[in-house]
Chain A
């Protein structure tokens, strides 16, 4: 009769053997080991995010094989946020996701914010990961302007995270977008790395082929706000970036390029940018875009309580100075390699003549996010027309320097994902920008209808499981590694995501090939691997229950 290491570890005899090998008397060992408490694995509700919920169930099953008692609890998004984000000491493990955005085509946002210890209390580091070595690398990559040197630091950051596994990275989802080939010229769509064809550049470049001049897209959630100081949701952001210009934009190559600025020039130290604004730019109410407006746009989020979401982006700025009517300087306390991407390509240019009085009128506790500006005046290639419960309508500005080829962008709120696919086929939509249904159905629809083309892209964002590193046993990197390596990412990508995902083990997506550390893919997985790692770290499985190392007691 053969006995595998896993089966052997699951018996009391194994515990006794481990104890005797460690020089601990059998009776003392039996008294000192404490089983790991039952765990609740939080996830989005099954109906809201079936893929995430199914992945959570697969993980619970795998951990069950290690002797853990895991219950999956599906919650609506806001309740999940309440438990995981706002009560940071109260949970053990939770499913979560980070979404791709244009400014995340630079790895700084994820590398600096997710795991830096400064963000443990109320920032993005909600898992409470604290590693001074990681902090050092994350800070250093910001200061290095040389791309190759910075690449080495970004690789190092990924190696540290791989070793410590504060997250179990699961998959980089494949996003699918579809459009009507009889309405739009395929060659004019821009496929941006990590974002696909649904991006700002596509919306201004795409050329209609016939009489249909409107780009009609969908969003599967109700909109929250269309406000230049508020990043309130995915669909909301798509509208915001079309209405308000930015000093720079992320180009088709994923790199920042001057937009509302004619040029952005840095001094040798990398601490001062001289920005020359583009000539002839005007707001949708006819007023010119001035240097003062750009300075106001960068300065106003720095004020306390005005725009909490934008404040981190402008915090590195220590001075803003107007040189003449077309030039101003931005001074930073230290070089910041990601500044162009995460600040100059992110902050919306707002008209000072409209927003200065609005911000002055804010009362205690109010932020710019709560301001309802009816006119929504920007200087972007589209102006705001209207927004009701069914749709948002924007009209193209013909004399914009990057005038769109379509006449209007209309975003329809379609809550029923199957209906959105049907609407694409019936012509009620011509650009499927938010499809969360079964990707197989979309592929079948495209195969059956030669007017529909589907474009897939690996996301910059990722799905993951977060360990609460503040709480034992998740404060032990060896324990986290073992649990992470028990999970079969390929199974999750295949079963939960129908193959429309790529296994993940890094916070930098392969959608950013220059920054992605492919060595993180070498991931040994399996229950036997995980069991051996637990065994090496002193954990034991006794009578099918996973126990802490001898002498370590349960704290919760």
Chain B
């Protein structure tokens, strides 16, 4: 319980620090929110009135205090650009981003774990000679380039998938869930997910492979071989299960970082998610929206970190023991 409480306090501290940095970072950036918000012919008096309405006439410390008070109550303010509550704007885009991210991560990690285990088992073979450079190349390729190649081949050349958006043009749905659970949505999702998965698969593949190589040297693997177990049983039931612990941690952390890192994929495929909102908010100096979107991403990342810590705590007796001491 003490361990859980300490991790929880740590998570809250991280959120506060990130929130504080975000608050001051956006206000110290060059550019005024007014530049994107009002017309260039607006008089100086009108500009002053708008500054007052946004609360930008208050001291930075006062603004910071208000921001913290509101954030504690779950109120992330009003977007300057959209003129709606930040939470409402972010929540509209969040499902699309979560679906894209989770799908991309799941595909990347399933492929990465299986391919990593296989390449470790076939160490020194021609398959490894081709597989490792290929994994490294796709990991190192710029996401934008990868997305454009996918678009050019699968969409423009073969015509298998649409080139942008989350739904076909002009289709209307009663509610968000009905929109998401359609074949049309899935059809639009495939290319961005594949792009994201190809970009993300390198980490689990290489991590799994290196863990597997270590574990395959362990005595219990030699024992399994001596017992006459088949290769598949040894790899999947004994080695892979033990090698997966760090990969599971990486997956949890990957959810948080990938939600914030989808800006490029969302832009290439015009996917209506948080990444696009972020780019727009930053370029329009929409402080509340940019702060809110980053805070939500941070919260997801911190929550996933917390889950990873708890999972480790439950799964690994050494950590449990160290914590109790």
Q: Is B74 an interface residue (CB 8 A)?
A: no
Interface-lining segment among B13-21, B38-46, B64-72, B221-229: B38-46
Task: Decide if A249 is an interface residue (CB 8 Å cutoff).
Answer: no
CB-contact partner of B44 in A122, A366, A425, under 8 A: A122
Closest to A393 in B: B170
A275 and B151 CA atoms in complex are apart in Å by: 54
**Distance in Å from the Cβ of A219 to the closest Cβ of chain B?**
11
- Give bound CA distance, A366 to B38, whole Å: 11
CA distance A283 to B234 in the complex (A): 74
User: Residue-by-residue, is B271-284 near A (CB-CB < 8 Å gives 1, otherwise 0)?
Assistant: 01000110010011
> How distant is the Cα of A477 from the Cα of B306 in the complex, in angstroms?
66
Given contacts A86-B32, A425-B156, contact A390 B46 (CB under 8 A): no
Select one of A83, A367, A423 contacting B163, CB under 8 A: A423
Given A86-B35, A419-B270, also A390-B283 (CB < 8 A)? no
Minimum CB–CB distance from A110 to chain B (whole Å) comes to 14
The chain A residue sitting closest to B162, CB to CB, is A428
Binds B, one of A20-28, A331-339, A410-418: A410-418
Decide: A372 near B170, CB < 8 A? Known: A86-B35, A414-B270: no
Q: Name the contact of A389 in the complex, choosing from B92, B156, B162 (C-beta under 8 A).
A: B92
Partner of B164, one of A124, A365, A385, A428: A428
Within B15-65, the residues touching A (CB, 8 Å) are: 30-36, 38-44, 46, 49-50, 52-53
* Option from A121, A308, A390, A425 in Cβ contact (under 8 Å) with B270: A390
B305 interface contact, C-beta 8 A: no
- Which residues of chain A from 8 to 63 have a CB within 8 Å of any chain B CB? none
For residue A388, CB closer than 8 A to chain B, the reply is yes
A305 touches B164 (CB 8 A): no
Chain B nearest CB from A223 CB (Å) reads 10
Given A78-B35, A214-B169, A426 and B272 contact (CB-CB distance below 8 Å): no
A222, CB-defined interface residue at 8 Å: yes
Q: Any chain A CB within 8 A of the CB of B320?
A: no
- Chain B residues with Cβ below 8 Å from A418 are 148, 151
Verify A408–B170 contact, CB threshold 8 A: yes
A370 at the interface (CB under 8 A from B): yes
Task: A462 to B148: give the CA distance in the assembly, Å.
Answer: 32
Query: Which B residues lie within 8 Å of A123 (CB)?
Result: 41
Instruction: Decide: A423 and B164 in contact? CB cutoff 8 A.
Output: yes
Within 8 A of A (CB), among B223-262: none
In the assembled complex, which residues on chain B have CB atoms less than 8 Å from the CB atom of A265? Answer: none
Q: Is the CB of B83 within 8 A of A372?
A: yes
A388 to B83, CA, bound (A): 14
Pick from A79, A308, A420: contact of B41, CB under 8 Å? A308
B285: interface (CB < 8 Å): yes
| Shortest Cβ gap from B47 to chain A (Å) | 8
Whole-angstrom distance between the Cβ of B151 and the nearest chain A Cβ: 6
Q: Please state if B270 and A410 are interface contacts (CB–CB under 8 Å).
A: no
Q: Nearest Cβ in chain B — how far from A424, in angstroms?
A: 10
Determine if A122 and B41 form an interchain contact, defined as CB atoms under 8 angstroms apart. Answer: yes
Contact mask for chain A residues 407-443; partner B; CB cutoff 8 A; 1 contact, 0 none: 0101011111011101101101000000000000000
Please, how many angstroms separate the alpha-carbon atoms of A364 and B45 in the complex? 12
Q: Which residues of chain B are within 8 angstroms of A78 by Cβ–Cβ distance? A: 31-33, 35-36, 283-285
Q: A126 contacts which chain B residues (CB < 8 A)?
A: 40
Interface pair A386/B155, CB less than 8 Å apart:
no
CB of B35, distance to nearest CB on chain A (Å): 4
Q: How far is the CA of A85 from the CA of B32 in the complex (A)?
A: 11
Q: Does chain B have a CB within 8 A of A312? A: yes
Give the distance in Å from the alpha carbon of A122 to the alpha carbon of B34 in the complex. Answer: 14
Q: Which residues of A, 364-411, contact B by the 8 Å Cβ criterion?
A: 364-367, 369-370, 372, 385-386, 388-391, 393, 408, 410
Please report the C-alpha to C-alpha distance between residue A85 and residue B34 in the assembled complex, in whole angstroms.
11
When distances are taken between beta carbons in the complex, the residues of chain A under 8 Å from B43 are: 122, 308
Point out the residues of chain B lying under 8 angstroms from A79, CB to CB.
30-31, 35
Are B53 and A419 interface neighbours, CB within 8 A?
A: no
Q: Does A216 contact B (CB under 8 A)?
A: yes
**Chain A residues whose CB sits within 8 angstroms of the CB of B38 once the complex forms:** 308, 369
Which DSSP category, helix, strand, loop or mixed, fits chain B's interface? loop
Chain B 125-152, CB within 8 Å of chain A: the 1/0 string?
A: 0000000000000000000000010011
- Indicate whether B118 reaches chain A with its CB closer than 8 angstroms: no
Interchain CB contact under 8 A, A82 and B32: yes
Instruction: Report yes or no: B31 in contact with A76, Cβ–Cβ below 8 A.
Output: yes
Which residue, of B34, B35, B44, has the highest number of chain A Cβ atoms within 10 A?
B35
Is the CB–CB distance between B283 and A419 below 8 Å?
no
Residue numbers in A under 8 Å from B148 (CB-CB): 418
Is B268 part of the contact surface with A, judged by Cβ < 8 Å?
Answer: yes
Of the residues A309, A391, A416, A425, contact of B268 by C-beta under 8 Å: A416
CA separation between A123 and B41, bound complex, in Å? 5
Q: Is B174 an interface residue (CB 8 A)?
A: no
B156 to chain A, nearest CB (A): 4
B36: chain A residues at CB < 8 Å are 77-78, 81, 224
**B267 contacts which chain A residues (CB < 8 A)?**
415-416
> Which residues of B sit under 8 angstroms from A413, Cβ to Cβ?
270
A422→B42 CA distance, assembly (Å): 40
Q: Are B170 and A364 in contact (CB under 8 A)?
A: no
A428 near B270 with CB under 8 A, answer no
Q: From B53, B83, B172, B269, give the contact of A365 (CB < 8 A).
A: B53
Q: Smallest CB-CB separation from A81: which chain B residue?
A: B35
Contact of A216 with B169 at beta-carbon distance under 8 Å, contacts A309-B39, A419-B269 already known: yes
Cβ–Cβ contact A391 & B53, under 8 A: no
A449 CB, min distance to chain B CBs, angstroms? 11
Whether a CB of chain A sits under 8 angstroms from the CB of B215 is no
Is A426 touching B270 in the complex (CB atoms < 8 A)? Answer: no
Would you call B163 and A428 a contact (CB within 8 A)?
yes
**Contact sample, A vs B, 25 pairs, CB 8 Å cutoff:** A76-B31, A77-B283, A78-B31, A78-B283, A79-B30, A79-B35, A82-B35, A86-B35, A122-B43, A364-B53, A372-B83, A372-B84, A386-B172, A393-B172, A410-B169, A412-B165, A414-B165, A416-B268, A419-B164, A419-B268, A420-B164, A422-B155, A426-B155, A426-B163, A428-B162
In the complex, the 6 A-B pairs of residues with the closest C-beta atoms, listed nearest first: A389-B272, A365-B49, A365-B53, A79-B31, A81-B35, A78-B35
Residues in A lying within 8 Å of B, measured CB to CB: 75-79, 81-83, 85-86, 121-124, 126, 214, 216, 222, 224-225, 231, 305, 308-309, 312, 363-367, 369-370, 372, 385-386, 388-391, 393, 408, 410, 412-416, 418-420, 422-423, 425-426, 428
Other A-B pairs beyond A122-B43, A414-B164, 18, CB < 8 Å: A75-B30, A76-B31, A76-B283, A79-B31, A81-B32, A122-B41, A308-B41, A365-B53, A372-B83, A388-B272, A389-B276, A390-B165, A393-B172, A416-B270, A418-B151, A423-B164, A426-B155, A428-B169
